[in-house]
């Protein structure tokens, strides 16, 4: 695991952009796992700005979504889908045949996860996986527990997740999650873990220890050969 420390969000966004850009240049049709949230948003913005100057950039990119909240009220603006559409998929011009996603309003979450796992088996493995870290050490929505499901799966959300950030302000918070499993993450050729925002100090302190525990899912990244951790020092 390679740690990169910066004094501001702009700097982690720049390094994230450069790492992604170089991989896309080497393999224009790579499979990119897009994550929602604020931590990778600066890198996405820089990729979009670069594409505006180099219109062919990203034209062959294949994109699959990391995870999604389930059980939100109809029309909720908090879905991962809306976030990644606005911040990455639409401005990068990703076409429907090159984008695989989980519908946040699905009435068959298990079936939706099974379809995503089949896509990953057919199109994968991932070339780049974008991750953030939860206050409890979750990556994607793989929450702390003794045993972990390896494929895309429906998951129970931890109380610490539901009590954090914007989730606790929602009139109807999510009642479950749908997420890529640890197998898909660990098979990715490159993992970029962005650490930014508030409340990440305790999780980062634990991440620094080269120990693996199911109760701290981010620790499994120690077993991967190519993890780049991009850290805004104000978050830790």
| Rounded percentage of the chain residues whose pLDDT exceeds 70 | 100
Which of 67, 83, 117, 232 does the annotation list as catalytic? Answer: 67
Which of 68, 117, 138, 153 does the annotation list as catalytic? Answer: 138
pLDDT bin (cut points 50, 70, 90) of residue 165 is confident
**Which token pair is 126?**
């991932």
Active site residue 156: no
pLDDT bin (cut points 50, 70, 90) of residue 204 is very high
Residue 136, SS3?
coil
Active site residue 138: yes
pLDDT higher at 165 or 183 = 183
Task: Tally DSSP H helices, then E strands, for the chain.
Answer: 7, 10
CA distance 199 to 192: 19
Give the residue carrying structure tokens 């390679």. 2
Residues contacting 95, CB < 8 A, separation 6+: none
Closest C-alpha among 100, 125, 122, 99 to residue 113: 100
Which of 68, 117, 127, 143 does the annotation list as catalytic? Answer: 143
Q: Is the pLDDT of residue 44 over 80?
A: yes
**Which token pair is 144?**
């702390």
Active site residue 136: yes
**Which token pair is 72?**
């939100």
**Which token pair is 87?**
């911040």
pLDDT for 167 equals: 79
- List, in sequence order, every beta strand (DSSP E) within the chain: 2-6, 31-34, 62-65, 67-70, 99-100, 128-131, 153-155, 176-179, 190-195, 227-232
Whether pTM exceeds 0.95:
yes
Residue 107 carries which DSSP code? S
Closest C-alpha among 155, 110, 120 to residue 136: 155
Question: 112-122 pLDDT, tens per residue?
Answer: 999 999 999 99
Q: Is the pLDDT of residue 169 over 90?
A: no
Q: At what angle do helices 9-26 and 41-53 cross, to 10 degrees?
A: 50
pLDDT for 147 equals: 95
Which of 68, 136, 142, 232 does the annotation list as catalytic? Answer: 136
CA distance 36 to 130: 9
Q: Is the pLDDT of residue 207 over 80?
A: yes
Active site residue 67: yes
Question: 45-84 pLDDT, tens per residue?
Answer: 999 999 999 999 999 999 999 999 999 998 899 999 999 9
Domains, the chain, ordered by start: 10-120+140-173+200-219 (3.40.50.1360)
Residue 12, SS3?
helix
Residue 46, SS3?
helix
Question: 173-190 pLDDT, tens per residue?
Answer: 999 999 999 999 999 999
């Amino acid at each position: 695991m390679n740690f990169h420390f910066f004094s501001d969000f702009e700097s982690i966004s720049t390094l994230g952009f450069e790492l992604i850009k170089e991989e896309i240049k080497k393999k224009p049709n790579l499979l990119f796992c897009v994550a929602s949230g604020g931590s990778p948003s600066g890198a996405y913005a820089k990729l979009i700005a670069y594409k505006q100057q180099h219109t062919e950039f990203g034209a062959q990119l294949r994109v699959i979504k990391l995870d999604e909240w389930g059980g939100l009220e109809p029309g909720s603006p908090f879905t991962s889908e809306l976030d990644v559409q606005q911040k990455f998929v639409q401005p990068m011009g990703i076409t429907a045949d090159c984008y695989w996603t989980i519908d946040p309003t699905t009435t068959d979450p298990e079936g939706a996860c099974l379809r995503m796992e089949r896509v990953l088996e057919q199109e994968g493995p991932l070339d780049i996986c974008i991750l953030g870290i939860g206050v409890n050490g979750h990556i994607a929505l793989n929450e702390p527990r003794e045993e972990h499901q390896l494929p895309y799966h429906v998951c129970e959300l931890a109380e610490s997740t539901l009590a954090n950030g914007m989730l606790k302000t929602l009139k109807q918070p999510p009642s479950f999650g749908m997420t890529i499993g640890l197998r898909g993450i660990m098979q990715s050729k490159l993992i970029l873990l962005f650490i930014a925002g508030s409340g990440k100090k305790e999780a980062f302190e634990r991440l620094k220890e080269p120990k693996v525990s199911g109760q701290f899912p981010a620790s499994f990244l120690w077993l991967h050969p190519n993890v780049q951790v991009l850290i805004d020092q104000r978050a830790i």
